[in-house]
Amino acid sequence: MPPSPTSGVPPILDVLDVAVEYGGVPALSGVSLSIAPGEVVAIVGPNGAGKSTLLKAIMRVEPLSSGDIIWRGNSLIPATPDKVARSGIAYVPEGRHIFGELTVEENLRLGAISRPSSSTDLAEARGWVASLFPVIAEGRNRHAGLLSGGQQQQLAIARALLADPDLLLLDEPSLGLAPLIIDAVFESIAEIRDAGTAVLLVEQRAQKAMEFADRSLVLAGGLIADRFGDGRAIDQDRVRAAYFDHSSSQDADG
């Protein structure tokens, strides 16, 4: 069993001893983690570590070769990606995947499709995402493909939030963005967390993500190489060791 995330609060997500292979080659082995409601957990690690694969496994986009994923007490193994999305897990993949030929408004409507029927007023949710992300307030009829990288990232997160998730999976939200824009994206993630949504944040910017998150895991070579948080200070030498003990490639900072 993975260590319990925060004392006394039952987790909403349990990843249990998960393995994923691509054509027989292991990409994840024995990966276990839990997330409590409203918690931010960072996954850092070098290129090819399996970070994106972990998010795809949770979304049921990639099949598990062993292990289980428990969401609010039920296994996600029988679920399709669509069903996972409707059950309260929203996913912003690496590279954003907004629809460039559609307008901002049309992209947002696609997010609202996965909104559970039990959710509160959509107009209220739209007001909240518009207050979080200036790109939406600036004009809903603009073509998404004409937005800057930072604006597209805001739109991708806004679209995910309109599905009213209890858990948001973010794959490298800072990738390719200027430092000021990255700060703005992290500020929005803080507001999302403060509104009660748990976040699983995959980031190459290890130090920034680990300082921001409640807890952090270093994934390297498909294994969880180390865990940080629970009040322990983040020792950068220990982070580097976790990167290099399990992989030969990248630098721990970025």
Ligand X SMILES: Nc1ncnc2c1ncn2[C@@H]1O[C@H](COP(=O)(O)OP(=O)(O)OP(=O)(O)O)[C@@H](O)[C@H]1O
Nearer to Mg ion, 94 or 105 (CB): 94
The partner in contact with residue 96, picked from Mg ion, ligand X, none with C-beta cut-offs of 5 to 8 angstroms by kind, is none
Nearer to ligand X, 17 or 94 (CB): 94
| Residue 81: both structure tokens together | 């990606």
CA–CA separation, 38 and 239 (whole Å): 25
Measuring CA to CA, how many Å separate 14 from each of 42, 84, 213? 15, 14, 18
Q: Contact between 51 and ligand X (CB under 6 A)?
A: yes
Contact pattern for ligand X over residues 146 through 185, marking x by CB under 6 A: ----------------------------------------
Residue 25 neighbours by CB under 8 Å, 6+ apart:
none
The CA dihedral of 182, 184, 190, 191, to the nearest 10 degrees, is -150
Of 45-53, 144-152, 181-189, 223-231: span binding ligand X (CB under 6 A): 45-53
Nearer to ligand X, 35 or 54 (CB): 54
Hey, is 36 helix, strand or coil? coil
Residue of 2, 30, 37, 48 interacting with ligand X (CB under 6 A):
48
Show the 3-state SS of 176-187: CCCHHHHHHHHH
Q: Contact between 204 and Mg ion (CB under 5 A)?
A: no
- Residue pair 136/158 in contact (Cβ under 8 Å)? The answer is yes
- Residue pair 148/134 in contact (Cβ under 8 Å)? The answer is no
Contact pattern for ligand X over residues 53 through 92, marking x by CB under 6 A: x---------------------------------------
Q: Which of residues 203-232 bind ligand X (CB under 6 A)?
A: 204
Residue 16: phi and psi, rounded to 5, are -120, 105
Tell me the Cα Rg of the chain.
18
Residue of 39, 40, 46, 52 interacting with Mg ion (CB under 5 A):
52
Contact pattern for ligand X over residues 4 through 43, marking x by CB under 6 A: ------------------x----x----------------
Which residues bind to ligand X, rule: CB under 6 A? 22, 27, 45, 47-53, 94, 204
Which residues bind to Mg ion, rule: CB under 5 A? 51-52, 94
